[in-house]
Amino acid sequence: MFDEKDLILEAKHVTRRFPASGGRELTACNDVNLKFYRGKTLGLIGESGCGKTTFMRFLVRLDVPTEGEILFKGKDLTKLKGEELRQIRKYIQMVFQDPGGSFNPKMKIRDIICEPLLNFGKIKPSEKDTVARKYLEAVELPADFADRYPHNMSGGQRQRIAIARAIALEPELIVMDEATCALDVSVQKTIIELICKLQKEKNIAIGFIAHDLGLIQSFAHQIAVMYLGNIVEILPGEDVDKARHPYTKTLLDAIFDTKMDFDKKIERIDSEIPSPLDVPVGCPFQTRCDHCMELCRRERPVLKNIGEGHEIACHLF
């Protein structure tokens, strides 16, 4: 679906287990294989606690998987240490859900934007003002915001500052963790438009975590659906209405729109998501799936390519 020469990061067989009480183990990510391409957005979607943030944290080396590889520029990120790891951080940046929480409230916007550039010796302290103004303009904020503190700004403006700081090092991949979910809907739209504009200009790969399929389908080139630590479906963003996995279909049916027909029977899941400490043998979705068969209780379905960039892990296919 994408040109393999644009592949910049590949996660292979990534699994993360955490020790839990009573000698048990919690598997937050199970054999995840995903690829990130230059100039494309991969949207990772799923319910809270499904493991999507755990996975994306590996890409910026805030955590390491128990098993698997994350290949970037020919190197396995999971094995890097010291100066080699520090240098790689230039190329992969992260934007968090709550930008306020990732800023030092005592720093002016000028210093927040320029901090990573100074850390990597890319600019001199005397250049801070010019550089901060340049990146403020890039994220469509007035240049005189350089003199402000984060608490003098709205949520949307703070998220633009977080994006300005993320792009300052000219990264090749930006990971965005629910970067718009705390914003008003109208502000969300303007931030998504900004992200798309910057991606086109700079050819950046983006990994965008979300729980809102309606939002992510509007701009992601590829969508990966995660359930209890497993990728259950991967499909082109423009083809999201062709989703076939029973879990993705419930997510699709849950998207609100102004023409919603409340009389129509919608696919929905009434039961609670099982505890990640108690994932059933076989298909992880079996306890909530109307189509569950005997085979589903015995064998875990693996992702199968069903053509045109569409992969699905379900025994129905």
Site residues, ligand SF4 (CB under 6 A): 246, 283, 285-286, 289, 291-293, 296, 301, 314-316
Give the nearest distance from C-beta 66 to ligand SF4 in angstroms: 25
- Asked if residues 209 and 176 have their Cβ atoms less than 8 Å apart, the reply is yes
Give one DSSP letter per residue of 221-271, joined into a string.
Answer: SEEEEEETTEEEEEEEGGGGGG--SHHHHHHHHT---TT--TTS------S
| Residue with Cβ nearer ligand SF4 (177 or 233) | 233
How far apart CA 204 and CA 277 sit, in angstroms, is 36
| Residue with Cβ nearer ligand SF4 (20 or 295) | 295
Polymer length in residues for the chain: 317
- Virtual CA dihedral for 223, 224, 227, 229, nearest 10 degrees? -150
- Asked if residues 181 and 216 have their Cβ atoms less than 8 Å apart, the reply is no
Give the nearest distance from C-beta 246 to ligand SF4 in angstroms: 5
| Residue with Cβ nearer ligand SF4 (162 or 252) | 252
| Residue with Cβ nearer ligand SF4 (281 or 316) | 316
Give the nearest distance from C-beta 24 to ligand SF4 in angstroms: 23
How far apart CA 33 and CA 5 sit, in angstroms, is 18
Q: Which of 27, 17, 7, 120 is nearest to 70 (CA)?
A: 7
Give the nearest distance from C-beta 172 to ligand SF4 in angstroms: 35
Give the nearest distance from C-beta 247 to ligand SF4 in angstroms: 6
| Residue with Cβ nearer ligand SF4 (291 or 304) | 291
How far apart CA 41 and CA 236 sit, in angstroms, is 10
Q: Could you give phi then psi for residue 231, rounded to 5 degrees?
A: -80, 120
| Residue with Cβ nearer ligand SF4 (57 or 315) | 315
Give the nearest distance from C-beta 219 to ligand SF4 in angstroms: 27
